Amino acid sequence: MNSGERRPEAGGKIDLHCHTSASDNTFSAEDVVGQAAAAGIATLAITDHDTTAGLPDAMRTGKRLGVEIVPGIEISAYDFGRKRRAHILGLFVEPEHPALARLCGPIVERRTRLSEQMTARLIEAGYGIDWDLVRSHAGDGGAVFKQHVMHALVDRGYANELFGALYRELFSRGEGDKPGIAYLPMQYVDARDAIRAVLDAGGVPVLAHPGQLGNYEAIPDWVDCGLQGIEVHHPSHDEADCILAAEAAARHGLIATGGSDYHGGYGSARWPLGSIDAGTACLEALRERAGQNAVTR
């Protein structure tokens, strides 16, 4: 078994990191929850990037199919001191809370504006795509992502796969080399503000995939401002990352979580929905902490 995997527990799997077409999954919230039911998932957290727009459909479908939906979000943030990105999950949040809307609304608008500018650059470079085609791949209520731009390029025959050589050429950040012609830097929010927004919304702030973004050094600072969980089991984590994240959880009293980070066709087929099971103990610890947060906010 891969070090990122958790074995299913009795009563159904618990996957605490999943996206829908409200952000960057190729499947709608209704489709994702249907897949979860078919995969034997008892509890699924919907954690779209910077939006809760997919939650109403997910919760309606979950009620119908017997899948508990944990209302969540994944906030695109930044560690300005160490100059690196950070993703903050909010689990058991109040979906319509103003703190989330105030912080994340501008992120959604910036990302969509950047994607439109990327599209314009590619058109200028001779690629036969247009903004309407790009937007057709994005769901209602969320941002337009570079994945949607790349999807339009595949539609028009410029590539046979979404994340192959052309994607790397066009969207490369250019570490140590010239950036791709479609790359534009994104402005993120401070990770501390993301943590506070999740707390204000009654949720549990969790550091997502610290191994992927190299966030271990920042954990003590973020614990001081309210971080309450850390994603130990994630597709990007190797055995060493799982150990480091678990040690950080024990050292700082954080809830150790896990999830598949499912993106449908925009993700790896090696990590389908439910491929990581966080376990009932994790779920109950999160539920208890969320109840405490709701009382104290």
Q: What is the pLDDT of residues 130-174, one digit of tens each?
A: 999 999 999 776 799 999 999 999 999 999 999 999 999 999 987
Asked if 97 and 200 touch (Cβ cutoff 8 Å), the reply is yes
Stretch 174-194: mean pLDDT = 91
Stretch 48-70: mean pLDDT = 97
Instruction: Note the pLDDT of residue 1.
Output: 35
pTM of whole model > 0.85?
Answer: yes
What are the residue boundaries of the structural domains of the chain, listed by start?
Answer: 13-93+188-296
How many angstroms separate the CA atoms of 63 and 239, rounded?
Answer: 36
Task: Report the percentage of the chain scoring pLDDT > 70.
Answer: 95
Q: How far is CA 148 from CA 20, 55, 58, 155, 248, in A?
A: 13, 21, 22, 10, 35
Question: Helix count (H) and strand count (E) of the chain?
Answer: 11, 8
Instruction: Note the pLDDT of residue 296.
Output: 77
Instruction: Note the pLDDT of residue 9.
Output: 44
Mean pLDDT of the chain: 94
Instruction: Note the pLDDT of residue 139.
Output: 79
Domain at 13-93+188-296, CATH homologous superfamily: Metal-dependent hydrolases (3.20.20.140)
